[in-house]
Amino acid sequence: MDPNRVLIFDTTLRDGEQSPGISLNATEKLEIAQQLARLGVDIIEAGFPISSPGDFEAVQAIARRVEGPVICGLARTHHADIDAAWNAVRDSQRPRIHTFISTSDIHIVHQLRTTREDVLGQARAAVAHARQYTDDVEFSPMDATRSDVAFAAEVVSAAIEEGASTINIPDTVGYTMPYEFTGWLGQLYELVPAMSDVTLSVHCHDDLGLAVANSFAGVLAGARQVECAINGLGERAGNAALEEIVMLLHTRAAAIGHPCGVNTREIARTSRLVSRLTGYVVQPNKAIVGRNAFAHESGIHQDGVLKERTTYEIMDATTVGLDANSIVLGKHSGRHALKQALEELGFVVDGQALNTAFKRFKDIADRKKHVTAMDLEALVTDELRQELAGYAFAAYEVEASSQCPPHARVSIRMPDGEPVHGEFTGDGPVDAVFRAINAATGIDASLREFRVDAVTEGQDALGEVSVVIELDGRSASGQGVATDIIEAAARAYLRAVSTAVRRAEMGATPIEATGAELARTP
């Protein structure tokens, strides 16, 4: 392999999925992983297998079904963690175990409540244990940038001695600055000669807005793996945004000279998929994937750009796949045209799933003149979420006015197929629908967050509703798509309820009570 090439390690499904309110099920995680493979990332960190049975199951499904990238599972230094990570990823063609332990005194003293010697011993034992399973072992000294570099170097040396082939340096709390990080990594190379035999990786958080710059400083200092996430998701202010790192390496390739293997044309679609499934909106002024990142997309064509594109554009929107909106179907399009359009988008839909998708497509085409690729993406993602048995929307009626409390009636199909009805009077019209759903299903969920976005522009745009609900101390999110936002809201709410109920049945612990050490990672 080209010694200058930078490996792209995507942690959307691990660090990204740790963001508050995100709760992807195994089907959704698999769908994202498949898109990450199409995007051409080198490594997918698929999850933290010991953290919950659901996470284990999702990592295993990804390891079994996603081809191309290395599939990686995260583990603390405990043998049980490493065993779980291995069992989850072992069926991949290219499995990796990623183990970590804090090396900063602040973490060792206050959180781990142990000693440096113990940390050194745990790191050594963990890597040795993981190496019994696979040659591909990554080790991270957590909170490295706030660690005494001499001690972190000692731990890294031990990890390399035991056979770690990737050493990842996390800026866990987003504290470092580019020149400081460069200095830290330089010292590490000096203190650990064996670093030249392994791959240096960096993992930066964006608390001070420097995640991409610090990652890039890492590359210039010798890193050949960058850990990042789609849309910059992750703990707090998130990780370095994959799309920004990749487009920096791409756009400034002549000056930088560190290529990566990502197919940039899949960036826009990956961003939309992740935003839709996580319910995390991308702000309009977000670099690369924001609605305005390419201003001429927004209808403001400027004199300069018209005269000569490069006067104000350093990237072409087509490079990130923003032109891929050429598919247009209408109400006369048939099942075959729909199937073909979906295949162009990378979705293989057959049998009953195709029938359901076609029915929804027809409903929408009746109300909306042109059904575009972005509409189809939204629809398929919507239907994807319906595969799991759950509460399903059938019909609603609302009367609302500014003069008296709104009245809502809903018809719902229970998970066993039985139709039920409910009604409610009061609050706003959308809220009345949610409470009518509670009345119909007998489930006492409450709304925590609510958001509506339009999928495309214009009067007849599809509305996409995202909700976060709370049920018995568990929170769950759901999304729904329809031209009518009340219907979209009802679908979103029912999805969230289905997820919350399924989790309760699986016995997952409420998020508030999850072991902190489990949830907090590099």
Residues 216-235 that bind a copy of itself (CB under 8 A): 216-217, 220, 231-235
Stretch 149-208 residues interacting with a copy of itself (CB under 8 A): 172-175, 177-180, 206-208
If one asks whether residue 132 binds a copy of itself (CB under 8 A), the answer comes out as no
Nearer to a copy of itself, 48 or 280 (CB): 280
Nearer to a copy of itself, 235 or 383 (CB): 235
CA distances from 113 to 77, 100, 105, 110, 457 (A): 15, 16, 10, 5, 54
DSSP 137: E
Nearer to a copy of itself, 350 or 397 (CB): 397
Q: What is the CA radius of gyration of the chain?
A: 24
If one asks whether residue 399 binds a copy of itself (CB under 8 A), the answer comes out as yes
If one asks whether residue 253 binds a copy of itself (CB under 8 A), the answer comes out as no
Nearer to a copy of itself, 80 or 194 (CB): 80
Q: Is 339 helix (H, G, I), strand (E, B) or coil?
A: helix
- The 3-class SS string of 7-39 reads EEEECCCCCHHHCCCCCCCHHHHHHHHHHHHHH
Q: Judged by CB under 8 A, which of 57, 83, 91, 313 binds a copy of itself?
A: 313
Q: Which residue has the tokens 């791409």?
A: 250
CB 166 within 8 A of CB 197: no
If one asks whether residue 293 binds a copy of itself (CB under 8 A), the answer comes out as yes
Tell me which H or E stretch contains 376: helix 373-384
84: its two tokens: 């779980």
Stretch 423-462 residues interacting with a copy of itself (CB under 8 A): 427-431, 446-454, 457-461
Q: Judged by CB under 8 A, which of 197, 303, 416, 418 binds a copy of itself?
A: 303
DSSP assignment string, 502-518: HHHHHTPPPGGGS-HHH
If one asks whether residue 247 binds a copy of itself (CB under 8 A), the answer comes out as yes
Stretch 349-378 residues interacting with a copy of itself (CB under 8 A): 367
CB 55 within 8 A of CB 72: no
If one asks whether residue 334 binds a copy of itself (CB under 8 A), the answer comes out as no
Binding-site size for a copy of itself (CB under 8 A) equals 122
Stretch 74-113 residues interacting with a copy of itself (CB under 8 A): 106-107, 110-111
Stretch 468-497 residues interacting with a copy of itself (CB under 8 A): 475, 482-487
Binding part of the chain for a copy of itself, among 116-124, 186-194, 346-354, 508-516 by CB under 8 A, reads 508-516
Closest CA to 211 of 255, 180, 175, 185: 175
Q: Judged by CB under 8 A, which of 53, 193, 304, 330 binds a copy of itself?
A: 304
Taking the C-alpha atoms of residue 249 and residue 408, their distance in angstroms, rounded to an integer, is: 53
If one asks whether residue 420 binds a copy of itself (CB under 8 A), the answer comes out as no
If one asks whether residue 43 binds a copy of itself (CB under 8 A), the answer comes out as no
299: left (phi > 0), else alpha (psi -120 to 50), else beta? left
DSSP 5: P
Tell me which H or E stretch contains 97: strand 95-102
Nearer to a copy of itself, 129 or 286 (CB): 286
Nearer to a copy of itself, 188 or 241 (CB): 241
Nearer to a copy of itself, 132 or 446 (CB): 446
If one asks whether residue 295 binds a copy of itself (CB under 8 A), the answer comes out as yes
DSSP 108: I
Helix orientation angle between 149-161 and 116-133, rounded to the nearest 10 degrees: 30
